[in-house]
A = this chain, B = another copy of it.
Amino acid sequence: MAGSVNKVVLVGNLGKDPDVRTSQSGAKIVSFSLATSDTWNDRASGEKRERTEWHRVVIFNERLADVAERFLRKGRKVYLEGSLQTRKWTDQGGQERYTTEVVIAAYRGELVLLDNKDAGDAPRQQQSRGQNNQQSGGWDSPQGNPDLDDDIPF
Chain A residues with CB under 8 Å of chain B are 1-13, 25, 35-40, 43-44, 50, 52-55, 77, 79, 83-86, 88, 93, 95-100, 102, 105-107, 110, 112-116, 119, 142, 151-153
On chain B, the residues within 8 Å of A12 by CB distance are 1, 4-6
Top 10 closest A-B pairs, CB basis?
A100-B100, A98-B153, A5-B11, A1-B37, A4-B36, A6-B36, A7-B9, A4-B12, A4-B37, A8-B8
Bound-complex Cα distance A152 to B100 (A): 12
On chain B, the residues within 8 Å of A153 by CB distance are 86, 88, 98, 100
Q: Given the interface contacts A8-B8, A9-B7, A43-B25, does A113 sit within 8 Å of B54 by beta carbon?
A: no
Q: Are A1 and B52 in contact (CB under 8 A)?
A: yes
Bound-complex Cα distance A132 to B99 (A): 29
A-side binding surface: helix, strand, loop or mixed? strand
Q: Are A152 and B35 in contact (CB under 8 A)?
A: no
On chain B, the residues within 8 Å of A115 by CB distance are 114-115
Bound-complex Cα distance A152 to B40 (A): 30
CB < 8 Å: which of B7, B95, B100, B142 contacts A86?
A: B100
